[in-house]
């Protein structure tokens, strides 16, 4: 987490880059980037700010036509067209859900045992797959393609 980041804003000519990889984040989990702007205490200045051209650029993308291996679950194939399999070991899950990048749940179903065969029809894009059980949850990213 970036607690404070200071940048002189007088006559900016170069873009400011904050490299998320320099901070201890868990990139397998969704995270938020929040911009909070303030001036020096008791300055009496009105604070104006704008975020222009904000983008998150991944360093590498490993979206191959093979199984995606997470430390706790396996998802294959990934990227996915409409059918895929999720397998897990040493865990007990009872619910699988898929959430889009805006946080909307687009699919939910009950699961049991140590695997699930899923058939879905959702728009192409990146999603978060979550397996939930009594001992907590495991999340992994999936990619839906045409």
Q: Beta strands 83-88 and 115-119: pairing type?
A: antiparallel
Number of domains in the chain: 1
Is 0.75 topped by the overall pTM? no
How does pLDDT run across 97-146, given as a tens digit for each residue?
999 888 889 999 999 999 999 999 999 999 999 998 887 888 888 999 98
Range of the domain at 139: 66-144
The DSSP symbol for 45 reads: P
The label of the residue with tokens 């008791």 reads 42
The label of the residue with tokens 């006559």 reads 11
Residue 84: alpha-carbon gap to chain centroid: 20
How far is it, in rounded angstroms, from Cα 70 to Cα 72?
Answer: 5
| 106: Cα within 13 Å, side-chain hemisphere | 18
Does any domain span residue 94? yes
How does pLDDT run across 62-83, given as a tens digit for each residue?
444 433 334 478 999 999 999 9
Does any domain span residue 96? yes
Does any domain span residue 39? no
């Amino acid at each position: 987490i970036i607690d404070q980041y200071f940048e002189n804003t007088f006559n900016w000519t170069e873009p400011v880059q904050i490299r998320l990889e320099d901070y201890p984040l868990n990139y397998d989990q969704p995270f938020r980037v929040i911009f909070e702007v303030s001036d020096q205490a008791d300055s009496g200045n009105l604070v104006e700010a704008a975020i222009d051209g904000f983008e998150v650029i991944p360093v590498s993308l490993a979206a191959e036509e093979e199984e995606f291996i997470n430390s706790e679950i396996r998802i294959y194939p990934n990227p996915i067209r409409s059918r895929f399999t999720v397998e897990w070991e040493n865990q007990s899950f009872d619910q699988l859900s898929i959430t889009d990048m805006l946080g909307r749940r687009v699919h939910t179903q009950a699961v049991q045992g140590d695997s699930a065969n899923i058939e879905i029809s959702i728009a192409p894009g990146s999603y978060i797959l979550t397996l939930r059980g009594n001992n907590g949850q495991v999340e992994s990213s999936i990619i839906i393609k045409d």
